Structure 1
Amino acid sequence: MVRLKVTAKGQVTLKKEVLDHLGIKPGDEIDVDLQPKRQAMIHPIAGKLPIESVFGMFKNTTGKSYSIDEINEAIAASYAGEAEQ
């Protein structure tokens, strides 16, 4: 357990070990969920990734290619419950 002290202005500074545990870095934001019985939960807000991080996410590694008609047929079969498992 980590104990923190409240300043006269009502502020709390999170200790480095808390920040490290939550993966919070300078400039990050956190959410505080107020709970019953005078309790709260702290959650780090997931950081935004640069657009470059998604490049290649859907790379075709099978070497197979499909036409738009084949893709549309597969989608229609899936909706009809006829898709291969």
Structure 2
Amino acid sequence: MASATLTSKGQVTIPVDVRTHLGLSTGDRVEFVLNEQSGRYEMVPATRSVAALKGIIRKPAKPVSIEDMNTAIAEQGAAAR
């Protein structure tokens, strides 16, 4: 099991075997996510290129006009009050 020590500034050096396993390199970001079931935090890489996001959101079945968008925004704003 890999371990690390927390510095007085709250910093931790991630052991090389963990960095290798996660595919991390200098400048990469990580996220700490609370696992609700175990109550523990999990560290996951937060490095995604913009190209990796392609296709996540599908195009609407029919085009939406600017007027329709403005109407929907106004209705949501009115409902929030």
The TM-score with structure 1 as length reference comes to: 0.48
- Count, aligned residues: 52
**Match for residue 48 of structure 1?**
49
Larger RCO: Structure 1 or Structure 2 (Cα < 8 Å, ≥ 6 residues apart)?
2
Identity of paired residues, percent?
30
Cα deviation 1:32-60 (Å, max 9, x = unaligned) = 1023566210111243166xxxxxxxxxx
Unaligned 5+ runs, structure 2: 52-81
Where does the alignment leave 5 or more consecutive residues of structure 1 unmatched?
51-85
Secondary structure of the corresponding residue to residue 47 of structure 1:
coil
Please tell me whether the aligned partners of residues 33 and 40 of structure 1 are also in contact (alpha carbons under 8 angstroms).
Answer: yes
Q: Name the SS of the counterpart of 1:26 in structure 2.
A: coil
Residue identity matched to 1:8: S
TM-score (norm 2): 0.50
User: How far, CA to CA, are the matches of 2:3 and 2:39 in structure 1?
Assistant: 16
Structure 2 counterparts to residues 1-85 of structure 1, below 5 A: 1-35=1-35, 39-48=40-49
Instruction: Indicate how the Cα distance of structure 1 residues 13 and 38 shifts in structure 2: closer, same or farther if over 3 A, else same.
Output: farther
Specify the structure having the higher radius of gyration (Cα): 1
Runs ≥4 residues deviating over 6 A: none
Looking at structure 2, the residues matched to 25 and 49 of structure 1 have their Cα atoms a distance apart, in angstroms, of 18
Report the RMSD for the aligned CA atoms in angstroms: 2.7
